[in-house]
Amino acid sequence: MKIHNFSPGPSILPQSVFEKAAQGVLDLNGSGLSILEVSHRGKDFIAIHEQAKQLVKELLQVPDTYHILFLAGGASSQFFMTPLNCLPQDGRAAYVDTGSWSSKAIKEAKRYGQVDVIASSKADGYKYIPKSFTVPSEAAYLHLTSNNTIYGTQFHQFPQCDIPIVCDMSSDIFSRPVDINRFGIIYAGAQKNMGPAGVTLVIIREDMLGKANRDIPSMLDYKVHIEGDSMYNTPPVFPIYVSMLTLDWLKDQGGVKSIEEINQQKAKVLYDEIDRNPLFIGVAAPEDRSLMNVTFLLKDQALEKPFLEMCKQIGCDGVKGHRSVGGFRASIYNAMPLEGVEALVGAMQQFEKQMG
Amino acid sequence: MKIHNFSPGPSILPQSVFEKAAQGVLDLNGSGLSILEVSHRGKDFIAIHEQAKQLVKELLQVPDTYHILFLAGGASSQFFMTPLNCLPQDGRAAYVDTGSWSSKAIKEAKRYGQVDVIASSKADGYKYIPKSFTVPSEAAYLHLTSNNTIYGTQFHQFPQCDIPIVCDMSSDIFSRPVDINRFGIIYAGAQKNMGPAGVTLVIIREDMLGKANRDIPSMLDYKVHIEGDSMYNTPPVFPIYVSMLTLDWLKDQGGVKSIEEINQQKAKVLYDEIDRNPLFIGVAAPEDRSLMNVTFLLKDQALEKPFLEMCKQIGCDGVKGHRSVGGFRASIYNAMPLEGVEALVGAMQQFEKQMG
């Protein structure tokens, strides 16, 4: 049975990427060596790393004033690395609180300077994206979480402001075009639209650096990683390799503009069914609905178990909602084909018939 | 042609591990899902992670007073995390400087308290392991690098002292039995004897914690990772999976005592040839020679290129020495079979005939 993986992350990647990655584990480009054993300073991996950077640059149209880093670990490390590197001790930074990950970023930033939470939807269970707020022009940056995996909300437009935006794009990077010039830093854990867990992409504009005037351990210093071209120490070779393969696949799909259209189509099919099917109801405010993580509830909570059982039977995996929201969450990242979404919609319709 | 991979790290892993890892990338345990897309909180990965911890515990006979963590990134992060977590601001720590990695650990530790470098072989090009030094009993810990990849030296006995040893065992962990009770912390980047790049094993005794009294970002706090069982955030799933496979292979080989005997045999074959062959000379002091990284020179430097060419022709890869030492370095970690060492010795003998 074909399994449709709706997990929020680590999450589905393209089948062709799995096949190429498995081949690389056995024999990288006919070298007789595995990607797991080659030196990170050898020509094979140097070429992979260069290609990965080039694909990021090309897909997101990143100008030369930005550095592209692949750092070990997850976006959680950027929660403190960003203020550590970019928030002066006597400075302030503005944060918008749109969920659990924003809150964690805020908590870590408070160690390094004044943090102004200028907007929050916490009181309403993070069901919407705050819109009418003023961004203080004296702040070093405005921090946003572009997509909120748990609640299923997404910034469809980024707020206008005069200061650089620092954005956690872990769960929607490469899903749509963005105007990169609005951002001072974009960071994203790989394990949704880019690759497997274990590496984080950091895109950082040169002018964000050198302002914090703080003693920083080498491994936490963006400048050290920029000078070392992400190879100050041994990088996470395999996660970078698979990220390169995934970005190459995305380029073959036509890039972020093309994938955005497919993502819009997939999300529409699922949200339309949520809105039509009398058993279900969406979680997020309609205007802020995420194209990546679709959250929905059964009006009758008692039906959750049998619906999850049906999902399992038809091979829809990972649709159980996060414990803080309950219900269901279908993560439909770039690599999820329309066919998978249709399978889930089919289950919802079949469930309606059974219950009706 | 069979390639013998003598790279210092990332480095050779067992062939059976490559095969199992490739299978896991295509289909993990018949689940229909790739190891690259499964949730880190799903039952498949939970089982993998538990097995990895259990194997560490079993292979190194780790008592229950120790925590076993798999953290993202490399040992370089432990250079500052160890003092950040364990060196009080008004405290001191003792370091032995046996090479480039020790030096980096010393540099990072100086941010957090008084660092006493109680012994160093730097003046002699790190060719030996300092032996006669006194360990101050008031220090929070003694930091050692058990094996020095670049210079080819190794602690064959750990110094006697009353304070806990913090040891970077990146390049010789699991190569021999160690008396774990001597150590407060053992850390090791995976990419030599344990797995691919992207994860670091940290074994930490409970009594090392809670003494630094310092505000620590969540992602840098050992306690946070212990409480989260290495899953405070998404861990590097695939590097942990391959580490588990490699440790399972090691268990099948009979564990660390058995592999130590094979490692001794392999090293003897190579060092005997270096000592016998009139063209070559060893780098490290004989009593401190590493069983993992064998460093040697050609007495006539002009012959380096033709010898490297011959190595390449017979499939011996990665034997070029580190730029700071020159010559050659054969890394013969656990997964390097005797056959590979014999191929290299064959090349040395053939080269002697050609030159003679």
The CATH number that domain A254-355 falls under is: 3.90.1150.10
Output phi, psi for B253, to 5 deg: -80, -5
Q: Does A30 touch chain B (CB under 8 A)?
A: no
Checking if the pLDDT of B3 tops 90, the result is yes
In the three-class reduction of DSSP (H, G, I as helix; E, B as strand; rest coil), residue A93 is classed as: strand
Q: Does A6 touch chain B (CB under 8 A)?
A: no
Query: Is the pLDDT reported for residue A103 higher than 90?
Result: yes
pLDDT tens per residue, range B191-204: 999 999 999 999 99
Token pair belonging to B37: 């897309």
* Mean pLDDT confidence for A117-139: 97
A44, A97, A101, A127: which is the annotated catalytic residue? A101
What pLDDT score was predicted for residue A355? 92
pLDDT band at A1; cut points 50, 70, 90: confident
Size of interface A-B (CB pairs under 8 A): 198
Distance (Å, whole) CA B322 – CA B296: 11
Q: What is the pLDDT of residue A230?
A: 94
CATH of B15-252 among 3.40.640.10, 2.60.40.4070, 1.20.1730.10, 3.40.50.880: 3.40.640.10
Q: Which amino acid is at B15?
A: Q
The answer to whether the bond into B83 is cis (omega within 30° of 0) is no
Pick from A40, A198, A219: which is nearest to B76 by CB?
A219
Task: Check pLDDT > 90 for residue A86.
Answer: yes
Same fold, A15-252 and A254-355: no
A38 pLDDT more than 90: yes
Mean pLDDT of A282-310: 98
At residue A356, the pLDDT reads 81
- pLDDT in the model for residue A307: 98
Nearest-by-Cβ selection for B32 from A3, A34, A37: A3
Phi-psi region of A9 (alpha: psi -120 to 50; beta: other; left: phi over 0): left
The answer on pLDDT for A284 being more than 90 is: yes
- Measured in angstroms, the CA of B198 and the nearest CA of chain A are apart by 4
A41 pLDDT exceeds 90?
yes
From chain A residues 180-219, the ones with a CB under 8 A of any chain B CB are 189, 191, 195-199, 215, 217-219
Rounded Cα distance, A52 and A203, in Å: 13
What are the extents of the domains in chain B? 15-252, 255-355
Judged by CB atoms closer than 8 Å, whether chains meet at B13 and A36 is answered as yes
Separation of alpha carbons B104 and A95, rounded Å: 35
The verdict on B337 touching A (C-beta cutoff 8 Å) is: no
Mean pLDDT to the nearest integer, A298-317: 96
Cβ–Cβ contact A150 with B under 8 A: no
8 Å CB contact between B334 and B293 = no
Q: Looking at the predicted structure, is the pLDDT value of residue A349 above 90?
A: yes
Residues B170/B185, Cβ–Cβ less than 8 Å: no
Q: Rounded to a whole number, what is the distance in Å from the CA of B76 to chain A's nearest CA?
A: 7
What is the percentage of chain B residues whose pLDDT exceeds 90? 98
CB contact under 8 A, B13 and A2: no
Confidence of residue B155 (pLDDT cuts 50, 70, 90): very high
Shortest CA gap A179–chain B (Å): 28
Nearest by CB to A237, from B38, B197, B215: name it: B197
Q: In this complex, do A198 and B33 lie within 8 Å of one another by their Cβ atoms?
A: no
Query: To which residue do tokens 């609180």 refer?
Result: A97
Residue B60 pLDDT level (bands cut at 50, 70, 90): very high
Q: Given pLDDT bands bounded at 50, 70 and 90, which one contains residue A129?
A: very high
Place A85 in a pLDDT band, splitting at 50, 70 and 90: very high
Task: For residues B173 and B185, give the distance between their C-alpha atoms in angstroms, rounded to a whole number.
Answer: 13
Q: How far is B316 from B342, CA to CA, in rounded Å?
A: 10
Residue A213's pLDDT band (boundaries 50, 70, 90)?
Answer: confident
Mind listing the pLDDT tens digit for each residue in B69-91?
A: 999 999 999 999 999 999 998 99
Least confident of A338-342, B1-5, B297-301, B311-315: B1-5
The average confidence (pLDDT) of chain B is 97
The DSSP bridge partners found for residue A62 are none
What value does the mean pLDDT take over residues A119-138? 97
The set of catalytic residues of B is 101, 168, 192
- Cβ of B219 within 8 Å of Cβ of A76? The answer is yes
How far is Cα A12 from Cα B236, in angstroms, rounded to an integer? 16
Q: Which B residues in the span 81-100 are in contact with A, Cβ-Cβ below 8 Å?
A: 84
Task: Reply yes or no on whether the pLDDT at B356 is more than 90.
Answer: no
Q: How confident is the model at residue B344 (pLDDT cuts 50, 70, 90)?
A: very high
Residues A140-195 have pLDDT tens digits of 999 999 999 999 999 999 999 999 999 999 999 999 999 999 999 999 999 999 99
- Chain B residues in contact with A189 (beta carbon < 8 A): 234
Contact (CB<8Å) A217/B38: no
Using DSSP bridges, classify how beta strands B183-189 and B4-5 pair: parallel, antiparallel or unpaired.
unpaired
Catalytic (active site) residue A168: yes
What pLDDT, on the 0 to 100 scale, is given for residue B228? 96
Label residue B230 left, alpha or beta by phi (over 0 means left) and psi (-120 to 50 means alpha): left
A344: helix, coil or strand? helix
CA dihedral sign, ordered B329, B332, B336, B338: positive
From chain A residues 225-244, the ones with a CB under 8 A of any chain B CB are: 232-239, 242
Q: Which fold, B255-355?
A: Aspartate Aminotransferase, domain 1 (3.90.1150)
| A192 is annotated as an active-site residue | yes
Give the integer Cα–Cα distance in Å for B243 and B49: 10
Is the interface score ipTM higher than 0.95? yes
Question: Residues A115-129: what's their mean pLDDT?
Answer: 98
The model's pLDDT over B286-328, given as tens digits with 9 standing for 90+, comes to 999 999 999 999 999 999 999 999 999 999 999 999 999 999 9
Q: Give the mean model confidence (pLDDT) for residues B212-232.
A: 96
Q: Of A20, A53, A127, A192, which one is the catalytic site residue?
A: A192
Nearest CA in chain A to B80: A217
pLDDT class of A201 with cuts at 50, 70, 90: very high
